[in-house]
Amino acid sequence: MQRVYNFSAGPSMLPLSVLEKAAEEMTNFQGSGMSVMEMSHRSPVYQGIIDEAESNLRKLMNIPDNYKVLFLQGGATQQFAAVPLNLMNKNKKADYIVSGQFSKKAAEEAAKFGEVNIIASSKDRNFAYIPKVNEFSPDADYVHICYNNTIFGTCYDYVPETGDIPLVADMSSGILSRPVDVSKYGLIYAGAQKNMGPSGLTVVIVREDLLVGAREGTPVMLDYKVQADNGSMYNTPPCYSIYVAGLVFKWLLETGGLEERERINIKKANILYDFLDNSKLFKATADKEVRSLMNVCFVTGDADKDKDFVSAASKAGFVNLKGHRVVGGMRASIYNAMPVEGVEALVEFMRNYEKENA
Ligand SMILES: *Cc1c(COP(=O)(O)O)cnc(C)c1O
């Protein structure tokens, strides 16, 4: 069977050339006589893989030297707890901006460990916008945001100016979609399965001065300082996921880096949003100024028609267009690996569907 256009929100499409490279190296990685899945994480050959992945990610994101890069497990969801356990260390208080389902979950988890102030929320309009916030609790240990809201299809169009208070961002679905100024953040975390690689890997980028050690009673695996001091190898890291993510980082560097990626991602998103804005049948749900480049959410306004569209699209080879179960409708996730032609083909299909069903 031919490969489909896969609009899954995650795990999601990977570049075909990366999959082919992984396939080529599957049984014998660069003359080692074994698969990356079979080698000791303590071996020099694996150390080479993880070091190259880190150095390429640093290059791609222009990560300053005073930041550590950690390759962890447990998903972004585990970071909802790891962040307060490590960073709620002065006043045991943190500010959270709730702009969707994941930031709400992050705030709920953090509330188990200290005082959480929800300083703004966009719940009043079903998370169609990003709250603009410029005032923070002076005694907050950090401010937490969700940079790109995977379920609602919105993305921050500004960086909250938190001054001396570290800014923490869940970038799971937005990382590597465009350049970001890492120095504006104290900590960035992201599950790999949206825009970096296979699931099982979570990347944490953390400013060194925040690595003071987690609070007492923290499980050792959740202690950033322990992970940093051990080069992400306190125990066995997600070896194969790191290897594939490394291939993705290399692919991004070889194809022009994040400036070029942003240009392509804007082009792809515009093709889809322009169609939606002129459609008689479909309508985009997020406010224009904060529309995500990665997750494009839309509806027909009729749940039965939505269902019919998703099923017709799937039969035509455009799969995983169903919106998240908490919002319904449709969502086209168009991460880095989705080619421009995939978006063009989807719009063509939607145009024909509209003609027949409007
Ligand atoms: C997918 C996602 C999560 C959850 O990630 P897991 O790796 O499944 O824990 C959290 N935050 C955002 C923004 C996401 O897109």
The mean pLDDT of 171-180, rounded to a whole number, is 98
Pocket probe mutation, ligand 1, options 152, 172, 188, 320, max atoms within 8 Å of Cβ: 172
Q: How far apart, in Å, are the Cα atoms of 247 and each of 15, 263, 337, 349? A: 10, 21, 12, 32
196 and 243 Cβ atoms separated by less than 8 Å: no
194 lines ligand 1 (CB under 6 A): yes
Which amino acid appears at position 146 of this protein?
C
Average pLDDT over residues 168-179: 98
pLDDT tens by residue, 339-354 = 999 999 999 999 999 9
> Between β-strands 5-6 and 318-319, what pairing exists: parallel, antiparallel or unpaired?
parallel
Q: Is the pLDDT of residue 265 over 70?
A: yes
Residue 30 Cα, ligand 1 centroid: separation in angstroms? Answer: 33
Which ligand 1 atom sits nearest the alpha carbon of residue 147?
A: 13
Residue 358 has pLDDT above 80, yes or no: no
pLDDT in tens, 214-260: 999 999 999 999 999 999 999 999 999 999 999 999 999 999 999 99
Cα 81 to averaged position of ligand 1 atoms, centre (Å): 13
Q: Which atom of ligand 1 is nearest to the CA of 150?
A: 15
Q: Which ligand 1 atom is nearest residue 192's CA?
A: 7
Closest CA to 310 of 299, 321, 325: 321
Ligand 1 pocket mutation, candidates 12, 73, 102, criterion most atoms within 8 A of CB? 102
Separation between Cα atoms, residue 163 and residue 161, nearest integer Å? 6
Report CA(105)–ligand 1 centroid distance (Å): 10
* Residue whose CB lies within 8 A of the most ligand 1 atoms, among 171, 173, 320, 325, for a mutation test: 173
Mean pLDDT of the chain: 97
